[in-house]
Amino acid sequence: MMKLAELSERSGVSPATIKYYLREGLLPPGRRITATQAAYTEEHLRRLRLVRALIQVGRMPVATAREVLAALGDDALDHHMRLGAAVWALPHGPEPDEDDPAAVTARGAVDELLERAGWDFGREVGDESPAYRMLVAAVAALHRLGYPCDTAHLLPYARSAGQLAVADLDLVEEYEREEEQVEAAVALTVLYEPVLLGLRRMAEAEESHRRFG
Amino acid sequence: MMKLAELSERSGVSPATIKYYLREGLLPPGRRITATQAAYTEEHLRRLRLVRALIQVGRMPVATAREVLAALGDDALDHHMRLGAAVWALPHGPEPDEDDPAAVTARGAVDELLERAGWDFGREVGDESPAYRMLVAAVAALHRLGYPCDTAHLLPYARSAGQLAVADLDLVEEYEREEEQVEAAVALTVLYEPVLLGLRRMAEAEESHRRFG
DNA sequence: CCTCTTAGATAGTGGCACTATCTAAGCATG
DNA sequence: CATGCTTAGATAGTGCCACTATCTAAGAGG
């Protein structure tokens, strides 16, 4: 039963910031002892660390983190839905502009990719999904700049993504309680993103060194 | 020879914002016609589109974009260095805290990974590289949360990253002029990041649907 | 000539993630 | 039991960032 000061101490987060997270609903309130004191548990510490990781490492806006965490604990949803809802709320760039011809082309390329990859669930969910929109916006930007980004170029990316997803879900399934699984899914989805990007950049440096260095 | 208004029109960026980019050095000044008029070229339009893509799709801070673009045009550097400098300046999360035991563990895991993957260039450059630090910070965060993230877990990610890097560099090498190659490297590195993340999230949704749906 | 636009300088805006201050209420120690 | 330290909760302020608006002097164009 720690007090706020200890929670702050053990997490390395300032008391003022913890209060801010409490206000914003990122952290459930502690159990009230008296009018001016509350007790926090190991669970609070764990949640606080997750919040920090999402915000600082995953570069997630506070408002987004709140939605993601809300989905985590939403008992009205079943397992798969809860997982989907959490990932759904993840940050995504600007919406693709429908009037832009590059966006239309991009949408076509992405749709064809989904078909070729056999991702039927993605095709069903379609342009409702933030991930789909993020993808279209990025492909459209590439297209506007004149860089090739058709199905052929995207396929190796999709294949790699597919492999990684299998590894990720394997990891998630190592947890028994559904609650743990959903939290793991969110944490692994978000926190492996900088891992993946960092590794890709290092691999590019490696390959560039090999070819031009 | 367009004037600012036409540049704005054709790029979809407001004149005020273009002025801001000019002030910030993201865009080279137009050729001065008179004291109150400047002419911009197709090259300006192209650069402006790149800037917008880096900032909006790649979520890059303006100051970072300036550094990246400066490296692009730095004739003092040779080809490989220029490429490296540009990627070097790319945005990266917070620095890993050296005092944190999780960071030390993370560093060990990453170093072992680099050895196992045979990424000798990365090992040489070591912890100077922003990508390396980003990686360590992310692995440390995972570790603090109690999620497994050792060499065995990272290897599939590294392998995928390696495959993608080959594809990326192949694409870069399709351009002939070195200038174009460097710009392509930056654009492809940055703009394929949201593509990769989007595809991974969609693949996870697909896999989750397959297993739990 | 008279209006419209532009470059360039400067100041202002809105959003975000905190951070500081204040108050009233406890708890803890001599 | 007095006195000083801590806490919760409310409110206001800060610093940064990416623009955005306004103003002025100098052309440009019909």
Please identify among residues 81-140 of chain A the ones whose CB lies closer than 8 Å to any CB of chain B. Answer: 83-84, 87, 90, 92-94, 114, 119, 121-122, 125, 129, 131-132, 134-135, 137-139
In this structure, of B49-63, B80-94, B157-171, the range with the lowest mean pLDDT score is B80-94
**pLDDT at site A86:** 83
The pLDDT tens digits for B115-155 are 999 999 989 987 888 999 999 999 999 999 999 999 999 99
B166 touching A (Cβ < 8 Å): yes
**pLDDT at site A79:** 85
The pLDDT tens digits for A11-47 are 999 999 999 999 999 999 999 888 888 999 999 999 9
Residue from the list A138, A158, A187 with its beta carbon closest to the beta carbon of B194: A138
* Beta carbons of B134 and A189 less than 8 Å apart: no
Number of CB atoms found within 10 A of residue B207's CB: 23
Q: Catalogue all structural domains in chain A, each as residue range(s) with its CATH number.
A: 4-57 (1.10.1660.10), 92-212 (no CATH)
Q: What is the 3-state secondary structure (H, E, C) of chain B?
A: CECHHHHHHHHCCCHHHHHHHHHHCCCCCCEEEECCEEEECHHHHHHHHHHHHHHHHCCCCHHHHHHHHHHHCCCCCCHHHHHHHHHHCCCCCCCCCCCCHHHHHHHHHHHHHHHHHCCHHHHHHHHHCHHHHHHHHHHHHHHHCCCCCCHHHHHHHHHHHHHHHHHHHHHHHCCCCHHHHHHHHHHHHHHHHHHHHHHHHHHHHHHHHHHHC
A195 touching B (Cβ < 8 Å): yes
Nearest protein residue to nucleotide D25, judged by CA and C1' positions:
B36
* Beta carbons of A191 and B141 less than 8 Å apart: yes
Q: Report long-range pairs for B172-177 (Cβ below 8 Å, ≥24 apart).
A: B173/A211
Nearest-Cα residue of chain A relative to residue B198: A131
List CB contacts (< 8 A) between A119 and chain B. Answer: 202-203, 206
The pLDDT tens digits for A159-177 are 999 999 999 999 999 999 9
**pLDDT at site B125:** 87
User: What six digits make up the tokens of B93?
Assistant: 């999360």
Phi, psi of A2 (to 5 degrees): -95, 160
Closest C1' nucleotide to B29's CA: C7
**pLDDT at site A163:** 95
Residue from the list B79, B169, B203 with its beta carbon closest to the beta carbon of A204: B169
**pLDDT at site B75:** 86
Reference B109, options B135, B146, B82, B83; nearest CA is B135
Nearest-Cα residue of chain A relative to residue B90: A201
User: Could you tell me the pTM of the whole model?
Assistant: 0.93
**pLDDT at site A73:** 84
Does at least one atom of strand C sit less than 7 Å from the CB of A61? yes
Asked if residues A98 and B172 have their Cβ atoms less than 8 Å apart, the reply is: no
**pLDDT at site A104:** 93
Closest C1' nucleotide to A3's CA: D7
**pLDDT at site A116:** 95
* Torsion angle (degrees, nearest 10) of CA A173, A174, A177, A179: -60
Spans of chain A, pLDDT less than 70: none
| Percent over 90 (pLDDT), chain A | 73
